Amino acid sequence: MAALDRVQISKVGKRYGSERALASVTLELTARSMCAVLGHNGAGKSTLLGIVSTLVRPTGGSVAYHAKGHAVTGADVRREIGMLAHASLCYADLTARENLALIAGLYDIDGSPAVIDGLLDQVGLDRRARDRAARTYSRGMVQRLALARALLTRPSLLLLDEPFTGLDRDGALSLGAQLGALRDAGAIVVVVTHDLEAIADRTDHVAILRRGQLVFEERGTYTYDQLKDVYHRHAN
């Protein structure tokens, strides 16, 4: 299956009962870009990510996925999605290696010890912790495992919800650099975050949501100060 190179979000809305979480959001995500989705708590960022991940059904509008000009649907889309959510999406009673081997099996990809260890090295998960149940991990270690889980499948659409949570400053900056590398390798990276410093100079597409509405969208590279400025001007 070819990698996704364009995701078209058209007039997407979502209501939870009488509560409106998103209202008519239109956004185009393209390959080799890192889109930062910003906004205050409750602005609809996670809901938007959930909809793009296919795990939340929009109440209005649609999301279309494309690869080399062809529409992609169903399991072929899910195969291309890597997700790092608020929760780790990993089993607390399994070890890091077992968690990744399970995912490799479900995605029918190489889950050999060499591949898994290589990835765990890449995200910086301590070697001594890899055969311990994930339940015993610190918040930062869980976050590294969750990132390894998201990267294992070599996704072309990487959705990250607060990926810097629990990481120390070095870890956050290193993750920012890894996301930049993935973007440069051709992936569509979408980051929901409040940590503007970690994504400054790396993001090339900024979307700001306020109370479920897209109030700002622009492509371009942003310094930390520029990001802070647009955030304060539009998110409040």
Give me the residues that bind other proteins (CB under 8 A), please.
50, 53-57, 75-76, 78-79, 81, 83, 85-94, 98, 102-103, 105-108, 133, 149
Kindly state the smallest distance separating residue 188's Cβ from other proteins, in Å.
16
Closest CA to 139 of 162, 160, 113, 111: 162
Q: DSSP secondary-structure letter at 95?
A: B
In angstroms, give the least distance from the CB of 60 to other proteins.
Answer: 15
Q: Judge residue 111's burial from the number of C-beta atoms within 10 Å of its C-beta, 0-12 exposed, 13-18 middle, 19 or more buried.
A: middle
Let me know: does 7 contact 67? Beta carbons within 8 Å: no
CB of 148 to other proteins, least distance (A): 13
Write down the least CB distance from residue 233 to other proteins, Å: 32
Q: Which is nearer to other proteins, 84 or 227 (CB)?
A: 84
Whole-angstrom Cα distance, residue 88 to residue 29? 24
Q: Which is nearer to other proteins, 80 or 204 (CB)?
A: 80
Q: Residue 83 or residue 190: which is nearer to other proteins going by CB?
A: 83
Contact 115, 155 (CB under 8 A): no
Instruction: Say if residues 227 and 200 touch (Cβ distance below 8 Å).
Output: yes
Q: Which is nearer to other proteins, 16 or 224 (CB)?
A: 16
Q: Which is nearer to other proteins, 88 or 203 (CB)?
A: 88
**Shortest gap between Cβ of 115 and other proteins (angstroms)?**
17
Q: If 0-12 CB within 10 Å is exposed, 13-18 middle and 19+ buried, where does residue 217 land? A: middle
Taking the complex as a whole, the smallest distance from the CB of residue 109 to other proteins amounts, in Å, to 10
Beta strands in 17-104 (DSSP E): 19-30, 33-38, 60-67, 70-72, 81-84
Q: Which is nearer to other proteins, 79 or 183 (CB)?
A: 79
